[in-house]
């Protein structure tokens, strides 16, 4: 799947909020950098509105920076699962930097949701 990066970033953010509802009220600006064939595309993702704009430079108000190869991003959006994103973070395909408190909060919220999901599956 390849398409308009802005639309795909918005889709990825929407999928994340849908799978982890506790992320919905989070007010955050994210610098998303996609590395392609010899170029770097920079985007500003604003949450909770899920507004994505293309930028020439990293947004100065960004609290987090997410970096990945464009082809890895396309695959992750296509898969659309939080579990796939978690594996990509753990393997180093996706790099995140920024305000430590935001990163810890997001990790904690995602892990709690994944635990809830596992309990639901186990009780069926």
Give per-residue pLDDT as tens, 80-97.
Answer: 899 999 999 999 999 999
CB 36 within 8 A of CB 8: no
Per residue in 29-41, pLDDT (tens digit) is 999 999 998 899 9
Let me know if 40 is exposed, middle or buried by CB neighbors in 10 A (0-12, 13-18, 19+).
exposed
- Greater confidence, 3 or 114? 114
Per residue in 19-32, pLDDT (tens digit) is 999 999 999 999 99
Domain annotation for the chain: domains and CATH numbers: 5-123 (3.30.1050.10)
- Average pLDDT taken over every residue of the chain: 93
Q: Which residue has the tokens 């595309």?
A: 41
């Amino acid at each position: 799947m390849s398409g308009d990066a802005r639309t795909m970033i918005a889709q990825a953010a929407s999928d994340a909020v849908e799978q982890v509802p506790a992320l919905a009220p989070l007010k955050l600006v994210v610098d998303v950098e996609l590395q392609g064939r010899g170029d770097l595309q920079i985007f500003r993702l604003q949450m909770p509105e899920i507004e994505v704009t293309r930028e020439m430079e990293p947004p100065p108000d960004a609290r987090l920076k997410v970096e990945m190869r464009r082809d890895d991003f396309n695959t992750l959006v296509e898969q659309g699962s939080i579990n796939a994103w978690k594996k990509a973070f753990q393997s180093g395909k996706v790099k995140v930097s920024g305000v430590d408190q935001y990163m810890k909060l997001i990790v904690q919220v995602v892990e709690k949701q994944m635990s809830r999901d596992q309990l639901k599956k186990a009780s069926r």
